[in-house]
Amino acid sequence: MQLTAKLFCTVLALTFIVGQPSLANDIQRNQAKRIHDRLTGVPATNAVITTMESALAADSSGKSAAAIAIDPIQNPLNYSSFYNVTLKNFATPWTNEEQTVFAPLNDYTATVIGMIRDDVDFREILSGNILYTGNNSPAYANNSNAHYEALENLGPVAGNLANTGILLAGDQTTFTGLPDSATAGVITSRAAAKSFFSDGTNRAMFRFTLINHLCTDLEPLKDISRTPDRIRQDVSRSPGGDSRIFINSCVGCHAGMDGMASAYAYYEYDYTNDVEDGQLSYTPGSVQAKHLINPDNFKPGTIMTDDSWVNYWRNGQNGTLAVRTGSSGSGWTHPGEILDTKDNALGSGAKSLGIELANSKAFAQCQVDKVFRSVCFRDPNDKAADRTTRNTVVDAFVAGGYKMKQVFGDVAAACKGN
C-alpha cells in the first residue's frame, strides 16, 4: 500500500513537471509582458507576447523585444499606446509650472511626441525650427489650444499620434511667423510661452528648462564665486537691508541665471484678460518692458539692451555640469561654441542658448534619467547597477545621434527583470 502511494505521487509529480513550460520560457514570457506593459501601458495580445518571447530567446538583451512592442506591423493593436499614452504622460509635466500630467495635449507635448516618433535629434527640442500639428479641425491658431484638444478628443484611432498622416511634422516659421533665428524648439512653443513667458521676467523659462531638460534646479547650481555683472536692476543688493544675503546667497543663482536668461529679452506672452487666449510675441531689437522693471531696486545693476547672453557656469563648480561617473571633460563643450578670453560661452537669442544647454552632458543624462523613471518606476541613482546601466544607455544615446525612441527601448530592455 505504501509502495503504491509513493508510485502514485512520483507519477503525479512527473506529470506536473512535464505539463509545465520550462522555467526559462516562463522567465522570458514574463520579461516580454513586462517590456510591453512598461512601454505601452496596456496588456499585449498572446500573439505579440509570443513573438516578443521568441525575440528574447534569440536576443536576451531585450532590445529586439522592445522594438516589437512599439512596431506598427508586429503590434498593430497596441503600439499606438506608446505615443498616445506613454509619451503624452511623459512630456506633459514639462509644459506647466505645476508639473502635472493632467493637462490637455498642446503644441509642446505634440512636438515632443513627433520628434521621438520620427527619430529627430532630440537636442533640437531646445533649438529647432520645428512644430508638430494635427491633420484635423480646427486649424492651428497662435492664440488657442483648441486644435490640439480636438486632436486628442478624436481618440486613439482617428487621433493616433503614431500615424505620420495624423500628427504632421512642420516648422514654427510656417505656422507662427517666427523667423528661423528666433525659433528654439519647445521653448518657443505656445504652451511653454503661456506657462513660462507670461507675466514675470522670463527667468521662469530658464529655471524650468533646467528642471525639465537638465534635471537640476537653481539651488544645486548656486555658485557665489561667479561674476555678478549681468544681474539686473530689479534684484536688490541688500534684501531686508542686509547686503550679506545678496553676497552669500542671491548672487549664487542670479549671476548664472541672469547671464543666460537675457537670451529671452525679445519674448513675451501677450494676453488681455484670460491667459488661455494669449499668444507668444517676439520683438527683435526691442527688449520687452518686463525686463526693465523695478530699476530703483539697484540702479547700478545691468540694464538689458539686447538678447546677448553669457554662460558663467562654464567655469567654477558647474564647469563639468553633471559629468557622469567615469566620464571626463567639460560638461558644456560643443562645435560652434563662442568663448571669451575667460572661456565663458557667449551667444545671442534663445536658439543659441538652447544649443548650448542641449550639448551639455547634463542634457543627455537627464533624458535617460527621465525615461528610466517613467519605464522602470524607480530612480537610476539609487543603485550602483542602475547607475551603470544608465551610463551605458547615455553613451549609446549620444553615439546614436540623440534618438529618444532608442532610449525607451534600451531602458525597457534593461528593466525587464530576471
Instruction: Using pLDDT thresholds of 50, 70 and 90, give the confidence band for residue 12.
Output: very low
Domain-located, residue 127? no
Domain-located, residue 393? yes
Q: Is there a single domain that holds both residue 333 and residue 406? A: no
Q: Is there a single domain that holds both residue 388 and residue 325? A: no
165 neighbors 124 (Cβ within 8 angstroms): no
pLDDT at residue 19 tops 90: no
| Phi, psi for 268 (deg, rounded to 5) | -150, 155
Q: Is there a single domain that holds both residue 325 and residue 374? A: no
Domain-located, residue 179? no
Residue 277: closest CA among 396, 190, 351, 208: 190
Domain-located, residue 292? yes
pLDDT at residue 22 tops 70: no
Of 188-202, 206-220, 308-322, minimum mean pLDDT range: 308-322
Number of domains in the chain: 3
Q: Is there a single domain that holds both residue 328 and residue 395? A: no
pLDDT at residue 11 tops 60: no
Tell me what pLDDT residue 328 has.
45
CA 66 to CA 24: how far, in whole Å?
19
Q: What is the pTM of this model?
A: 0.92
Domain-located, residue 123? no
Taking residues 74-100, report their average pLDDT: 97
Measured CA to CA in angstroms, residue 267 lies from 113, 181, 182, 253 at distances of: 25, 13, 9, 22
Tell me what pLDDT residue 97 has.
97
Q: Is there a single domain that holds both residue 232 and residue 313? A: yes
Q: Is there a single domain that holds both residue 279 and residue 388? A: no
Q: Is there a single domain that holds both residue 309 and residue 386? A: no
Which set of grid coordinates corresponds to residue 291? 525686463
Domain-located, residue 105? no
Instruction: Using pLDDT thresholds of 50, 70 and 90, give the confidence band for residue 348.
Output: very high
Of the three residues 62, 78, 94, the one that is the final residue of a domain is 78
Q: Is there a single domain that holds both residue 279 and residue 323? A: yes
Taking residues 371-382, report their average pLDDT: 96
Q: Is there a single domain that holds both residue 369 and residue 293? A: no
Q: What is the pLDDT of residues 247-301, one digit of tens each?
A: 999 999 999 999 999 999 999 999 999 999 999 999 999 999 999 999 999 999 9
Q: Is there a single domain that holds both residue 284 and residue 392? A: no
pLDDT at residue 357 tops 50: yes
Instruction: Kindly provide the b/e burial profile for residues 99-111, where b requires at least 16 CB atoms within 10 angstroms of the residue's own CB.
Output: eeeebbbbbbbbb
Burial of 15 (0-12, 13-18, 19+ CB in 10 A): exposed
pLDDT at residue 329 tops 70: no
Domain-located, residue 235? yes
pLDDT at residue 135 tops 80: yes
Instruction: Using pLDDT thresholds of 50, 70 and 90, give the confidence band for residue 331.
Output: low
pLDDT at residue 214 tops 60: yes
pLDDT at residue 32 tops 80: yes
Tell me what pLDDT residue 17 has.
43
Tell me what pLDDT residue 6 has.
53
Tell me what pLDDT residue 5 has.
53
More confident residue, 140 or 319: 140
pLDDT more than 90, % of the chain: 88
How does DSSP classify residue 311?
E
Q: Coil, helix or strand for 299?
A: coil
Give the residue numbers spanning the domain of 378: 364-414
Instruction: Using pLDDT thresholds of 50, 70 and 90, give the confidence band for residue 326.
Output: very low
Domain-located, residue 46? yes
- H helices within 225-297, ranges in order? 243-245, 251-261
Tell me what pLDDT residue 330 has.
54
Q: Is there a single domain that holds both residue 321 and residue 410? A: no
Taking residues 300-322, report their average pLDDT: 91
Of 22-36, 273-287, 356-370, minimum mean pLDDT range: 22-36
Of the three residues 339, 373, 389, the one that is the final residue of a domain is 339
pLDDT at residue 372 tops 90: yes
Of the three residues 305, 339, 373, the one that is the final residue of a domain is 339
CA 192 to CA 205: how far, in whole Å?
8
Q: Is there a single domain that holds both residue 335 and residue 409? A: no
